[in-house]
A and B are shown apart, each in its own frame.
Chain A
Amino acid sequence: MKDGSGDASARVRLAHGAGGPAMRALIESVFLEGVSDPEARALGDAAVLPLGDRFLVVSTDAHVVMPAFFPGGDIGRLAVSGVVNDLAMAGCCDVLGLTSSVIVEEGFPIESLRRIHRSMQAACAEAHTRIVSGDTKVMQKGEVDGVVLSTSGVGITDRVVRDSGLLPGDVVIATGTVGDHGLAVLSARHALGLEGELRSDVAPLNGLVRAVLGSAGAKLHAMKDPTRGGVTSALTEMAQKASVSIMVDEAALPLSAAARAAAELLGIDPLSVANEGKALLGVEASAAPEVLRALHAHPLGVHAACIARVTEGEPGAVWLDTGFGTRRLVERDDLPLPRIC
């Protein structure tokens, strides 16, 4: 469709899906219009609904990742983990059930659908939950790209954690290496010819979070998973919502050798790309050693580390101390493309 005319600002751009400021602006200007419900307006990854003296937590996610199969995972594992993790980030580790909508392009191989299904089943088993309802739609060739999955999840919890509770003096713990998923997918998508250990970290985190809640208790002030937009976006949102500043210590960032290499070679900042099996935990400084111990004892938390401290300062400002100076971590609105230089 050739349509070079028209006001560009009246049309959806790719930036609107990047998880950064443009997406937030779109949500606020379009999807919050006429919405007064405070839970919806909180724009959390999951919604918390009071149910007697407990809480019902519900979330929905859509996945459009290309390619559908990538090193370390696939769109099915992503769909299950994504929604389970939304619930887990709200403090809800008991997932009652998931729904799964599948929109598939005419011509998509059924064997691939089967692989995706089995992957979803496996991820559900890891998360101690199951898919209880679903829907299937087929669109004509060219009307959708391969397959789109949308999942919803519901759970019950006694304790709710938000992403807005950081306090000055807190530290931020990353539960493991950063940038793996985003770099693995980019590498696969652009056929970058990188042979090596680059693998997505996609995994359901409710078991890990259960361990964290057990060890930190009320000293866990905030939690968020750094998906689209990466650690930079997640920290920026956490800092904005709590009106604090955050200083990240570059030397402390856990990075896999492969992610570091890919970042150097491609010039992509690992802090700006998605993670699908990691969480950022804002904890009271005194609780950090115990939380780290609990994380290190869990298979998904072996590389957990303290990566930042929370301070008073310009609300929403996130800084990186490189050892040679400091720079501001700023969210991108564009999708990272490999640059050569």
Chain B
Amino acid sequence: MCLGVPGRVVEIDGSTALVDFWGVRRKVALDIVDEDVSLGDHVLVHVGFAIRRIAPEDLAETLAFFETLTSEDLEELER
């Protein structure tokens, strides 16, 4: 059972946060996330609990990585 959904923290109240998922908001528990979470952070949520804070630099790293994997192929496609 893996569905983890990423959302953005818009409010924090003790150990719960209000998280925005594409415009829809839901309360999320912060009991088991292993880093401090601040307003504006992205978190991965599963069954009502934040399981991970997604660091912006990790997002960028993954995107850059996809870039390197595919740039030659993309050029080929564009030809």
Contacts and interface: CB of A to CB of B under 8 A. Distances in A.
Do A and B contact each other directly (Cβ–Cβ < 8 Å)? yes
Interface of A: 192-198, 257-258, 260-262, 264-265, 267, 339-341
Contact of B23 (A193, A261, A339, A341): A261
Interface stretch (B24-32, B34-42, B53-61, B63-71): B24-32
Interchain residue pairs A-B with the least CB separation, the first 4? A196-B24, A261-B22, A341-B1, A261-B24
Nearest to B45: A265
A51 B73 CA distance: 65
Interface of A, secondary structure class, is: loop
B3 A267 contact: yes
Nearest to B21: A261
Contacts of B26: 192-195, 265
Contacts, number: 44
B20 to A, nearest CB: 8
B24 A265 contact: yes
Given A195-B26, A196-B23, A341-B3, 9 more contacts: A195-B18, A257-B23, A258-B23, A261-B24, A264-B21, A265-B26, A267-B3, A340-B1, A340-B47
Interface in B2-32: 2-3, 5, 18, 21-27
Interface of B, secondary structure class, is: strand
Nearest to A194: B24
B3 A260 contact: no
Contacts of A339: 3
Nearest to B3: A341
Contacts of A258: 22-24
A196 B22 CA distance: 10
A195 B24 contact: yes
A178 to B, nearest CB: 16
B25 A196 contact: yes
A267 B1 CA distance: 12
A340 B23 contact: no
A99 B27 CA distance: 44
Nearest to A257: B23
Contacts of A261: 21-24
Contact of A193 (B3, B27, B47): B27
27 contacts: A192-B26, A194-B25, A194-B26, A195-B18, A195-B26, A196-B23, A196-B24, A198-B24, A257-B22, A258-B23, A258-B24, A260-B22, A261-B22, A261-B23, A261-B24, A262-B24, A264-B22, A265-B21, A265-B24, A265-B26, A267-B3, A339-B3, A340-B3, A340-B46, A341-B1, A341-B2, A341-B3
A193 B5 CA distance: 16
B24 A197 contact: yes
A195 B22 contact: no
Contact of B5 (A192, A194, A257, A265): A265
Contacts of B27: 193
A192 B27 CA distance: 10
Nearest to A267: B3
Contacts of A267: 3
B23 A197 contact: yes
Nearest to B23: A257
A261 B24 CA distance: 6
A330 to B, nearest CB: 21
A92 B46 CA distance: 48
A267 B4 CA distance: 11
A264 B5 contact: yes
Contacts of A262: 24
Contacts of B21: 261, 264-265
Contacts of B2: 341
B72 to A, nearest CB: 20
Nearest to B18: A195
Nearest to A260: B22
A257 B21 CA distance: 9
Contacts of A260: 22
A260 B47 CA distance: 18
A258 B25 CA distance: 9
